[in-house]
Structure 1
């Protein structure tokens, strides 16, 4: 079992796609909760498509190693698949917090370690920084360029490499703290907030070849009292939540006649790849906005 992990009492579970799952519990997830939600974490062997050069280490062994260093898993996200042969080997993402004396709070957010892996050859072990904002229960993936993403191939002593990488990410997370603090001091005019949300929407929908269905102000509209304000940090968080969680109302109309076809809501971005990629892109976009405002 993991060290210092309380048995999960309640967990928010969201299912999406073909068998994909998201489970989050800020109190920690034990092995029983992880096994129930994400069997791929406990896969007993690599997928048959992998060669003999592929070093197979189940993700749970890596988690146990990280647990001995005080890292506690609080979220697991598993990608779905229509291929029955790959169902137990699919890409999975785990978010962990460092327990003990190490500071993990950054204002209204908690610092987290993001671990990505698969056993079907679609991903190496990858480590990234993350922030989890307590108010909106949304998790940011903070990675600006390859320097903040550590990729560990399935070769050699994987467990120790991941542990060493985790400490490198933790040591570098002071930069994430600095950037977040800087964003909180930068004020955006309403037009700048709209421009940020418009650019973010292009990342969300045009990457899939779709037309943006909603207006920028709908995307960054405050959802709660704590979200009201003009700082870049708040505009960034509101936009991120609006795009990732979805639920924004819009009208679908005939492009030729303008006639109303249906009333719909935007969908959440819950898949492992889509969620991670959009989060990273939004972090980069917010960083660039901060640089422009500072200049």
Structure 2
């Protein structure tokens, strides 16, 4: 397990994602749009003891959109930076300055053994929209307070998923049902490739590990397949879209939750 996770300074954030520091909305945005610089929200989140540890911003095809594109910042709580565990609950901040992505805060999980970044389903933890700053009951404070409060419950949920064992047929069914989340119907891949562990620590049969193996293979790509329309072979690429990454993650989490309730009908009550 890595213990050398350090918060990113504002200088590092600016180097990795200059969009965070944009001071105005894109010219095509309506005058009614309430612009908030992302860096101001980052500073607000830091004041609640959550610190940025990772950031990504989308590429742009239209050069005029450079500096306004979608971006995502992942935060970790002070306690988890001080004393890292195998899994850490994260706070995810999404935004764009051209209205392609709403300003919102979600919950996620970081798994140290594989540097996996899961995004928790909205059915488990609802995303919170950010509309303003500075008010007594502003969205940021509410969202952070709720994520902080739910951290122990989410960790319990992970422990429960780790306790649920899957046989080979169940793991195969899980993998088969995730294929449409990433690949169109005419793209054929071998579901068994989604179940291949990338490290020795992942040779386990529990639901949580299986979820992470499938997620990593779908997100990072390098899955070989055949285009049934052209009969050409292809190799999947890493998902670079922030929206696709988050959507796939949430759908995978939903599927894992469904499997948990099938395996253990009392799962939701216990979690």
Please indicate, yes or no, whether the TM-score normalized by the shorter chain is above 0.5.
yes
- Counterparts of 1:117-196 in structure 2, within 5 Å, are 117-145=95-123, 148-153=126-131, 155=132, 157=134, 160-196=138-174
Secondary structure of 1:116's aligned partner: strand
Evaluate the alpha carbon distance shift between residue 55 and residue 158 of structure 1 in structure 2; reply closer, same or farther with a 3 A threshold.
Answer: farther
**Relative to 1, partners in 2 of residues 1:141 and 1:251: Cα closer, same or farther, differing over 3 Å?**
closer
Please give the residue correspondences for 1:66-105 in structure 2 after superposition, counting only pairs within 5 Å.
66-100=45-79
Deviates more, 1:108-117 or 1:173-182: 173-182
Number of corresponding residues: 261
In 2, the alpha carbon distance for the partners of 1:100 and 1:252 equals 46
Kept in 2, the 8 Å contact 1:75–1:96? The answer is yes
Q: Is 2:20 aligned against 1:41?
A: yes
Equivalent position SS for 1:140: strand
Q: Give the Cα separation in 2 of the matches to 1:80 and 1:176.
A: 32
Residue 39 (structure 2) aligned to one of 45, 48, 60 = 60
Structure 2, unaligned runs of 5 or more: 266-271
Q: Distance in 2 between matches of 1:166 and 1:26?
A: 21
Measured in 2, the distance between the counterparts of 1:147 and 1:251 equals 34
Is residue 271 from structure 1 mapped to residue 241 from structure 2 by the alignment? yes
* Counterpart for residue 219 of structure 2: 244
Task: Report deviation, 1:114.
Answer: 0.7
> Does 2:195 match 1:220?
yes
Gaps of 5+ in 1: 1-24
Q: 1:127, 1:246 → 2: CA distance?
A: 27
**Shift in Å at residue 86 of structure 1?**
1.4
Post-superposition Cα deviations, 1:231-257, rounded to whole Å, max 9, x if no partner, equal 111111111111011123x2547768x
Q: CA RMSD in A?
A: 2.5
Q: Which TM-score applies when normalising by structure 1?
A: 0.81
Superimposed CA distance per residue, residues 213-240 of structure 1 (whole angstroms, 9 cap, x where no aligned partner): x211110111111000111111111111
TM-superposed CA distance for 1:172, in Å, is 2.2
In structure 2, C-alpha distance between the alignment counterparts of 1:68 and 1:156, rounded to whole Å = 13
Q: Summarize deviations over 1:11-58 as a string: whole Å, max 9, x none.
A: xxxxxxxxxxxxxx9322111111112111000111112233322221
Alpha-carbon distance in structure 2 between the residues aligned to 1:133 and 1:66: 22
Secondary structure of the 1:72 match is strand
| Higher alpha-carbon deviation: 46-55 or 79-88 | 46-55
Which deviations, in whole Å up to 9, do the C-alpha atoms of 1:253-286 show, x marking residues without a partner?
A: 7768x7xx55x43211121110000001001110
